[in-house]
Chains A and B, each alone.
Chain A
Amino acid sequence: MIHLQGDWTIGQTIPELTELERHLSSPSPGKSLVLDSSAVTNWDSLFLTFLTKLKHLCTEHQIALKEEGLPPGVKRLLALAEAVPERKGARREDTKEAFLERVGTRYLDIWHSIKDTIGFVGEVTLAFLKLLRGKAQFRRSDLLQIIQRTGADALPIVSLISLLVGLILAFVGAVQLKIFGAQIYVASLVAIAMMRVMGAIMAGIIMAGRTGAAFAAELGTMQVNEEVDALETLGISPIEFLVLPRILGLGLMMPLLGVYSVFMGMIGGLIVGVFMLDLNFMLYYNQTVTSVSLTHFWIGLFHSAVFGVLVALMGCLKGIRCGRSAMAVGQVTTQAVVGGIISIIVATAIITILCNIVGI
């Protein structure tokens, strides 16, 4: 016989069952357990969890639990909780994978994602070929909107960052060049660095954070809302309808942004040159013009076109492969930005090495 009394509500401490357990495990625990709850003043779910535990203990030790003394509401709720038996296999068990198994799955995952990426690039290429034949299905208005969003709307931030990068380059260069009295070469330094690679990289990184993330989040949300499925079942390829205009838009806008970024960087250099190093404006201008060549310009343009396609590809790939939850959208957005920036740096390294081999 157990007497229960007082408040059994959440916030109260409930007694442990260890003593009872010890008693039940003793050689002669008795046949049945009677509960008397006449002194219980208040109860809620906490009381129920206590009783469930008690019940489990009793069944374990094959002792009949007499529930008659419980309040009628408690009895009904207990019956309700037991009405639907636990579904077999529904409870997840924590299985620890062996080390080798983990290595194996990880390897397979990586292999899978590589194959997936190659497949995606292939699909995009096919869609692009279809576009060249004038057969791709997408809306011109979508392309225009993307061009506006990725191009014109990005000008303020690209201006700011590139101007500052130009300033920084000029400052750092000036300190060293001043030692030799060769301040004028600040103009060459800024012009060549910005034009060959820095302008494109700056624009690329800004776009990875700004547009790559936007693409991934947009497409990811469309995936969550079944909008991508709705296109697919209509026989419209999501690659053509959603991915192609985005890659095209950013691929077209990025070279322009790159050139713009070069221009802003040179202005930044000019500010340092004229106001800090007291160089003549025309002198600085002439030095800039003589030091850059068309080759540099083309290399820079090539960089930014490649970056544009890479950032857009990364954003779209991650977005299209998004899972169906809010968390998945966050993950793919992060992956798109990180992947975009990594691919920009790797591409720069490859292009630089190639240029070295060719000798330009």
Chain B
Amino acid sequence: MTDLVRAPEQQDAFARCEFLLERYSSRHPLSAMCEYRLELGDAVAQFACMHAAVPAGLTPFQVFACDDGAVGLLGEFDLACQIAFERALRRIQPAPDDSKLIFDMSAVQFMDHHALLSLDSYAEACQVPVFVRSMPPIVRRVARALGLEPLSHIRLGGL
């Protein structure tokens, strides 16, 4: 994959493609292994975070496709990876036939208010309603402390 993502302008398009492939392979008999040279530096982390399975230590969080079409979030989301998370969110787009987009938080270990507000902003801009399911207690705590108003665009549930 390395030669496809050397230039910054290639990276955004390819990351969107990676996530579409991730969603497709989660629901079809397709397994893929994407290889990137570590010489790409930050770009490796950009793409690593868009896969369900990655080597340890490459990224603090992952955005991946669940078997039922939901977008899975995994790991720790705080200010240290805020830019990366917002960039990953921009690369997630609902499929043309999606009537809603569901984020599954069951594998989230930690999420601070920056990430939660970014998710809410994403929901505001998304063409389809955005739901969040399996929100861990610590993320619910952040939402409750912030008050409902700043999170007016995320809906809970979505099963």
- Are A and B a genuine interacting pair, yes or no? no
Binding site for A on B (CB under 8 A): none
